[in-house]
Structure 1
């Protein structure tokens, strides 16, 4: 068949992508114009390029919408705006052409009564989309033997007037790889391998919470996003000024920002500039160095866009909550080689607890990307955060349960506060050596300064019904330098394909702690009554408070890693990787009223392997298994010691499946995970560690995410964890349970948006979040009850604006979100409403 005949005979139904060969990948195609012309059959969309070159095209569809992604292209329209036309022809609701990312354009066509039929072909000026609107009386073309029913094609016809085309220099190849719209489902992630890898090819459980979920749930704190993921619960919140997470039953999961480790004393993660959150289950030391064996959390931030984008949002809610925010992006130069993005917000709230100190936060994050050449890209980032809020240890326990008191009652002084200031900056450089090999380099600097003054809570005297208190002033400064360099490449040895990652990273960090504390009157406040508290104690001046601890700890760590994702066949893959770490620690304890000066040091090295296999008996199913280990240096104890490093070992098997033509995916995982040299946070001395032991967790997890029907999204999870202390530590006997680890947790969040008619754009959301019974302390002396929290939402989205109202804890239940010890129990928020309006232009 002639090339021209082949092109004119391919009639897409929106489920068969077309790939058109183009010049070398380095030659970015410039789209300079978009025209619409009505035809007797419907409509033609003419995409004009600078040299009449037809770019690569991948197509897909959902509902009444056809989507085509033009690869290696940039939008250069005269008015410097995306193209949009409403109701351009009968049966066509809209046509849009927008810049999807720095080197990809998206063409979207939406029908009024059904999915338009689209024929794609080169034209004399670039690319031609011939649209035929679907009508209720339209007949389905006859089925051909070689084409599935959902990919039917029109019979071949010789057109009356052949389209004008330049003489092609390359063949045009048809690739049948359907890629439907998947709603909440994200098909690829970078956290598991440091490369953009399909989730179905990764022999490890990894879950992604996309930006759509973050927006639909009006997520303010990272915990609200992570409750959608199996096996992840909120851990120690210290004084409600930070968030740590328990993954697969192990606390203090490592938190990364775009692959860079965050501080242990940093404030709560800001969600305003998040594109998605990726959770890698199990040991991850192989690619990120020291890490907890339960898993790690990687927050992925928003990047600059080549097309102008402006969004203003305002939110108000219960307890005096207000939050204006801005997200703007676009090119800084006419050739779009310099791009920027800026996210900023201000937030304040009174909170539901009876403090005089309010919550107040300012956040700003500018990012600039320089497209130095077609193969080289440099991104420079900066983040600044200032947050002040009440210092709040929460509720207390009496007997075998939480004290029966109002959840808004406090035991600190009403004006106690904690303030955190964070600064982060650095660059990311990526250079394509050729079409197969890429070199990446990251240099990152960060610091955080935390300061607090409070009437600190101590032990609970149940007989007297009081909580002891002390005066505490704590100042901690952390600073870190990170360097990461790696080389990623693809090559083949015979019929075996390889994706190789080789690299090293270096981190130098230190903490400077100054702790002043008074335990007895008149410098310390008197005990406070649990059922009838009396406030009014004035904290003494700083110079009058005795210095309890003054020290500095340093960590210097090198890591060298090698990873090879081997495709032995199209459906059988092996992941082999190993990492060697060298860690040097030093603690300098200055002489105080309570400590003599000392300088303990420790040097450790470890090899962490990972072996995984993936077998795909059919395209929609991946079966996997893995073995991996983790390594993590321990923090300093209150006595000034440096315990031996923690080691984790995991065995895991699982299955990943796709349903509904790839719109819905599910992951089932079973694991056995052991951690030795366990060191846990000291509940009486924040910032320090205590004890050693061994813990073994076994469990099963199920995650489901995607789109059930057009407009109907879902994300759901279930986790069962059998956590057991196999070598006693800190008062937990062998066979005991670690605190704050529920045996069963589950979540469900679903939204539906009306797709057509007068109510098109109106949507509803509904969520259920269940956490089972948990022990509240290391000694297993009391428990937190299980709870089922219900959330709901109603929203309306039309054109460039949206409005939403979210109802959190709809039935106003009392529940405990997390806790560690009898005087550090975080109550969950009561019924809360947040309303938001945003405009894009």
Structure 2
């Protein structure tokens, strides 16, 4: 599990002080008399109390049956620090100790009416400083004596709260939708957070697997063949340039690892106001693990079917005694086999982060990442003209063992935050990002289903892709009368440079699917086509979140992007051709949130996106095309079924316009009149049903089709997009007794049938997969078994590369065992 740091300042006037609002990095929290809402579940049992001296003063440990303790209120009265916990009972005897450590006069732990427990720590001369940290067996409170203030009329102390994110499967806030940590209920969009608890319980380490519990996202490609980044569709559109890492684009041709990720935030629908150019299906933001103020060390590893194994190391803690400089280092290595013959892969990832609190108003984070990926290129198996897989084993491999995809990826950046005052802050980020992919394999060019003969050509591609990104944002809060505003203004610059080279010619010996004979003879790498792209993007955006009354919130945003692209292309032995294109776009969005009663939120929004068509893509008169545009109308309802269980229902209509299609008057030319549509509903349920019983579930209905075209595909369904999709992941963990910590999980995934290509010439059949887990948590360690495809069904998640040639078989029954220990 991961600890979350939040810092609160307590200001006392007279005899009493309450926690005020404060901020660390980009997180902001307001602590009131109900710091965490009381739950309607059974109270947490505090079964033991330990008081021990420490290097800084005193350590108080509250041992619980259930780890989550809800802090109701924390105050300072005189020299006493008072922490009160709701929905808790004291099973152990009350405690009272006088002068347990130097500077500490008294410690008291007692039970209160209405299932509350109070902890009082009285300092000898001033209220002490407390550090609250959730542990595997309860809550640890580190106490340091406070210093008396020189000002007799004002007493200021500081309380540091460090602990687990006790929201479990139901995080209540996300920064992706609006750019600030805003409660999900106050955002007029469909947004889902996949927390670390779900990633751990499912034992997933790749983004594609992690997003199986996020509704409306499906696979769309095979291993090692994608030219669009991770092979995923969201609301019917590719997730290529709309995957981000802490708000900065994280494009990669390799599958993305989640080993250094704290949570995944999924924003559905166009999002160009904050994120710039991209497809209109939505945005996925990977929120990474951040440095902690307390030492944290975790070692984990797993081994599973098909000779797969991995190991990870997670280290964090302070580098100075004051804790103003902290670090986090995530190391992981994965070696994965496959049920497919000759197919394997590996990944090495190193992710360091350094955080420095320069002063109480300014912080600087420096972060980086290095990733190496290698995997066998595998196009799957063919389907016949009847839309059925040919009669070969699902393990049949029809490429060559030497064919593989490799990539080195590197990034380095920083994030600076500065609070000018309580109402105005500056955020500035910069990052350099580079990846060098190489793809090398015999490409299947055609297939004869009668003879089983597959014609192949030599395919090779390599290049260096570079991106520099920088932005600066001002966030201000102010009032106009009784109306509250949170204004976000940003400037952004991005430079993309790439120089790929391609080889796509020369016949390679064919292979027979029914009786394959592998050549095992690598071909010569000799690129024949070269491209050089340089793209500069300058952007400005503004957004205002307007709280008219607490029950009514408006959101308005506008972005302007200017894109300048210069491209050169050259075939071997031919002169270089040059192309240049400039495009610009305004992308607005509007939203409204209305909360008629406390547990219910109604919302509506209009959002837009744009995506340049690029230099070198010319129409009949030699001019370039306008950017593609996307727009979405969405309405929805969000409700808290209980304090720990939330439900979201959304209905939407997306149109992607300005798509380049064939000119009906001249098939050799193109015109820009095409449009595709995606409309449907999303239903998401996340949280805790009963103590220890967690669930995340999603249902999606999607009608994605070609709405305008000049050919006979108008009205066809978009390839790879199912009409119906359902996912469920639920776990139960025993809460007390000798078996406390023992739990089990069940996963269900249904994906409806999908067109295999845009011509709708064949259909991928639907499938219903069942997964399961068994785990045991004890103190500082966790052991777990996960089963995928429990009933060993045959299924096909996707086509290999968007054609009717080959499809991607799903994995059969597989099991993995994992273990993690904190120290």
Shared fold (TM-score greater than 0.5)? yes
Q: CA deviation at 1:198?
A: 0.6
Q: Which residue of 2 aligns with 1:260?
A: 248
Contact 1:390 1:418 (C-alpha < 8 Å) held by counterparts: yes
User: Please, what is the CA RMSD of the aligned residues?
Assistant: 3.8
Measured at CA, do residues 170 and 619 of structure 1 come closer, stay the same or move farther in structure 2, by a change above 3 Å?
farther
Which of the residues 651, 659, 663 maps onto 1:670? 651
Q: Deviations over 1:443-464 (max 9, x none)?
A: 1000000112211111222343
Q: Deviations over 1:475-495 (max 9, x none)?
A: 122100001110011111110
Measured at CA, do residues 655 and 92 of structure 1 come closer, stay the same or move farther in structure 2, by a change above 3 Å?
closer
Alignment gaps of 5+ in structure 1: 1-18, 29-53, 68-75, 99-104, 135-140, 142-149, 173-178, 681-688
Q: CA deviation at 1:27?
A: 13
Which of the residues 487, 502, 512 maps onto 1:500? 487
- The reply to whether residue 361 of structure 1 matches residue 347 of structure 2 is yes
Q: Deviations over 1:298-356 (max 9, x none)?
A: 1111000010000001111111111111001001111111100000011112222111x
Q: Which residue of 1 aligns with 2:10?
A: none
User: 3-state DSSP class of the match of 1:215?
Assistant: helix
Contact 1:20 1:55 (C-alpha < 8 Å) held by counterparts: no
Q: CA deviation at 1:116?
A: 11
Measured at CA, do residues 394 and 93 of structure 1 come closer, stay the same or move farther in structure 2, by a change above 3 Å?
closer
Aligned pairs for 1:791-830 (under 5 A) are 791-819=771-799, 820-830=802-812
TM-score by length of 2: 0.82
Q: Deviations over 1:20-45 (max 9, x none)?
A: 436896999xxxxxxxxxxxxxxxxx
- The reply to whether residue 385 of structure 1 matches residue 382 of structure 2 is no
Q: Which moved more, 1:404-413 or 1:761-770?
A: 404-413
Which of the residues 630, 636, 648 maps onto 2:630? 648
Q: Which residue of 1 aligns with 2:361?
A: 375
Q: Which residue of 2 aligns with 1:200?
A: 185
Aligned pairs for 1:284-683 (under 5 A) are 284-355=271-342, 358-399=344-385, 400-520=387-507, 524-525=508-509, 527-542=510-525, 545=526, 547-592=527-572, 597-634=576-613, 643-660=625-642, 662-678=643-659
**2: distance between equivalents of 1:196 and 1:497?**
16
Contact 2:497 2:534 (C-alpha < 8 Å) held by counterparts: yes
Contact 2:459 2:505 (C-alpha < 8 Å) held by counterparts: yes
Which of the residues 690, 695, 705 maps onto 2:686? 705
- The reply to whether residue 741 of structure 1 matches residue 728 of structure 2 is no
Which of the residues 172, 177, 180 maps onto 1:187? 172
**2: distance between equivalents of 1:274 and 1:83?**
30
Which of the residues 239, 255, 260 maps onto 2:224? 239
User: 3-state DSSP class of the match of 1:290?
Assistant: coil
Q: Deviations over 1:184-211 (max 9, x none)?
A: 0010000011111110110111111001
Q: CA deviation at 1:812?
A: 1.1
More strand by share: 2
Q: Deviations over 1:567-622 (max 9, x none)?
A: 000100000111111111221102325x6521121111111111100000011111
**1: distance between equivalents of 2:766 and 2:246?**
34
How many residues align? The count is: 733
Alignment gaps of 5+ in structure 2: 1-15, 26-30, 47-51, 72-81, 128-151, 158-163, 662-669
Measured at CA, do residues 801 and 306 of structure 1 come closer, stay the same or move farther in structure 2, by a change above 3 Å?
same
Q: CA deviation at 1:113?
A: 7.8
TM-score by length of 1: 0.80
Q: CA deviation at 1:111?
A: 6.5
Measured at CA, do residues 115 and 788 of structure 1 come closer, stay the same or move farther in structure 2, by a change above 3 Å?
farther
**2: distance between equivalents of 1:94 and 1:507?**
45
**1: distance between equivalents of 2:87 and 2:530?**
65
Q: Which residue of 1 aligns with 2:818?
A: 836
- The reply to whether residue 230 of structure 1 matches residue 215 of structure 2 is yes
**2: distance between equivalents of 1:350 and 1:283?**
37
